[in-house]
Amino acid sequence: MSGFAKPLKIALGLAAIAALIIVPMNFNRYGLFILSQWAVMSIAAMGLNLTLGYAGQVSLAQGAFVGIGAYAAAIMTTHGWPLPAAILVAIALSFAVGWVLGYPALRVQHHYLAFVTLAFSTLAFLVFRNESWLTGGIYGISNIPRPHILGFATNKPLPFYYVCLGSLAVVSLAVWWLIRSPWGRAFMALRENPLRAQSLGIDTRRYTLMAFAIGSALGGVAGALYAPLTQYIDPVPFNLSLSLDLLMMVIVGGAGFYFGPFLGAMIAVLLPEWLRFTEGYYLMLYAAAVMVLLIWSPTGILGILDRYLAERRTKAASALHAVAKSRLETAQ
Amino acid sequence: MSNLFDLVIAGLATGAIYALVAVGFTLLWQTSQTINFAQGEFVMLPAFLMLAAMHAGAPFWLAIILGILLSMILLGLAFKLLLVDPMMRHGVLPLAIATMALAIGLKEAVKQFFSAEASPFPSIVPTGDISILGYSVSLQSIGVLVLAILAVGSLTMLLNRTSLGHQMQAAAQNPTVARIIGVPVERMILLTFLINAFLVALASLLITPIYLAKFSSGEVLGQAAFIAAIVGGFNQVRGAIVGGLLIGVLDNLAAAYVSTQYRAAVPMIFLIVVILFRPQGLLGRAEERTV
């Protein structure tokens, strides 16, 4: 997005944030639920974007981490713990499991890694479904309370939407800071050329594990918000297709672009809703839209914008070059 | 003992079908680096094409031929021209994601245009039990096993014994050199897509009588085929065969002896162990590409 002037960028960002705060105020219950879901999925997709887009490690297990976070939050809050404590536990748990899942990434890459994480995803689903002493099995956990924040009850859809939006803001800032820190640069080095990264003294082993663990932890955060959002969870939403959906969000939005996950989650959550008037056809149209988009631009939506801006910059640069050259010639 | 024997035979029969699907999966990977996440849905669809032909009044044999031909056009030719060709040069991941979207689209299309319910499907092999060496064995299992072995056997013959097969291998191993020595690489790649479409149609014909025709039945099948392909060796046809049979038997034994709740976990754990300790697969050789 570096083609825009800085004040314009800031103005656009502020306008988007203001719109997200003000516009939903007169939305109905369902609209607010969908928008909250968008915020939650954006957090999960941002985590996967860190693992995949920045560090280049394919993971088909992000949905499982959303599940881990959701179950951690559901179990703790129904036993009387406050949600912030549950979020911390969800982060710690997903971080630890994500770290362990990172070990295969040290041995195998690309599609092999994808399949290890796919297998992990299925195993996690089986645990959610079968360990009914902990997770309620196929009956799930119901009556998950929504939190009181600074004395305000967030039972109603609008306040809880603001909880989701606020969490998204916090996570976005944290990720923004992270990818600009030396860690973020190390992640990108890992993606671009692991061998060179290692020869420059980057501990690739540690950063690979870190990329997995941090990405997974964000999945856990999303899950910990998902549980009080739906107030009822069972294993079904956390099966493999959630992991595939999240991966689709990251790629469709634009992997490795900061704003990719927001757009990808918007497409995956909102587009099917907008297409609902077509009734039985809406998922078909959604699938077709994703395929057409990827054929047109394999780097996702932001890939289109990026190409356009790069082209404009090249044109501007060559125009400047021509001007400079003609000045030189007239001076002689 | 009789129980075990029966389980192994039934496992081999399902495993042989997994092998068909896994072989197609590896063929696509070999020649065009396509990880087809819709492979399971590719198996689901032909049964519905055949059912549609039968609903239109065609006899079963004609419906089979029409189903196979339509699959080769839709899942072979159209899949390659419309989705794989435009995306192939952009790397593995975007194409893999596009096939995920394709899987959603196929499932929804069948649900919308055909039925959300499971439909029965006639069997092309006789049903009933026969007795072999004192054990009673399902005829259907034997029939499926024989047909699948025939199909994989003739494919192996095609790949290893004929000039066409050698050209396909060359196209997979080193497209540049193959092109220089005059192998029509593009046509060979198209051929593997057609073979894959034929294999999934055959798998569909064999497995649907056992598990019924349902729009969502591809999910389990696709996963089993992935696992079979990787366990056996992602870059070897015979690896995929061994992987398929192994997963079929393992799955059946796990259902009987581990627990019905965690039966799905056994192939997954097996997969993780194989990837971690022998990533090239049981039969594969590291960093080698051949069909």
B20: pLDDT confidence band, cut at 50, 70 and 90? very high
Residues of A in contact with B284 (CB under 8 A): none
B116: contact with A, CB 8 A cutoff: no
Q: Which two tokens stand for residue B280?
A: 């090239």
Note the pLDDT of residue B125. 80
CA distance A91 to chain B (A): 25
CA gap B123, B139 in Å, rounded: 11
Cross-chain residue pair A118–B226, CB shorter than 8 Å: yes
Cross-strand bridge partners of residue A149: A152
Tokens for A189? 């080095």
B68-117 per-position pLDDT tens digit: 999 999 999 999 999 999 998 888 889 998 999 999 999 999 999 988 88
**Chain B residues with beta carbon closer than 8 angstroms to that of A280:** 108, 111-112
A68-107, pLDDT tens digit by residue? 999 999 999 999 999 999 999 999 999 999 999 988 878 7
Judge whether A100 is closer than 8 Å to chain B, CB to CB.
no
Residues of chain A found within 8 Å of residue B279, distances taken between Cβ atoms: 107-108, 112
A110 near A118, Cβ under 8 Å? no
- Which chain A residue has the Cα nearest residue B79? A291
Are B108 and A108 in contact (CB < 8 Å)? no
- The SS3 assignment for A233 reads strand
A106-110 contacts, C-beta under 8 A, 24 or more apart: A106/A205, A106/A208, A106/A209, A107/B276, A107/B279, A108/B275, A108/B276, A108/B279, A110/A58, A110/B92
- The answer to whether the CB of A167 falls within 8 A of the CB of A221 is yes
- Please, what is the average pLDDT of chain A? 90
The Cα B134–Cα A271 span in angstroms is 60
CB contact under 8 A, B102 and A120: no
Å from A124 to nearest chain B CA? 9
Q: Which two tokens stand for residue B227?
A: 């696992």
Residues 228-267 of A with CB under 8 A from B: 240, 244, 247-248, 251-252, 255
Instruction: Tell me if residue A90 falls in helix, strand or coil.
Output: helix
* Minimum Cα–Cα distance from A251: chain B residue: B94
Helix ranges (H only) for chain A are 6-22, 29-48, 62-78, 83-107, 110-130, 132-135, 157-180, 182-192, 194-199, 204-230, 240-253, 260-274, 282-296, 301-331
Are the beta carbons of A108 and B279 separated by less than 8 Å?
A: yes
Q: What is the pLDDT of residue B290?
A: 47
Instruction: Provide the chain A residues 42-61 that lie in CB contact (below 8 A) with chain B.
Output: 58
- Taking each continuous run of H as one helix and of E as one strand, the counts in chain B are 12, 2
Q: What is the pLDDT of residue A1?
A: 47
Report the C-alpha gap between A18 and A10 in whole angstroms: 12
To the nearest whole Å, the CA of B128 is away from the closest chain A CA by 34
Say yes or no: B86 contacts chain A, CB-CB below 8 A.
yes
A170 CB near a chain B CB, below 8 Å? no
B88 to chain A, any CB pair closer than 8 A? The answer is no
Classified as helix, coil or strand, B115 is coil
| Contact check, Cβ <8 Å, A104/B35 | no
Residue-wise pLDDT for A134-180, tens only, equals 898 889 999 999 988 877 888 889 999 999 999 999 999 999 999 99
pLDDT at A332 over 70: no
Q: Does A290 touch chain B (CB under 8 A)?
A: yes
CA dist A228 and A300 (Å) reads: 31
Is A284–B230 a contact, with Cβ atoms under 8 angstroms apart? Answer: no
Q: Which residue of B has its CA nearest to A280?
A: B112
ipTM higher than 0.90?
no
pLDDT in tens, A25-54: 888 889 999 999 999 999 999 999 999 989
Closest-CA residue of B relative to A112 is: B275
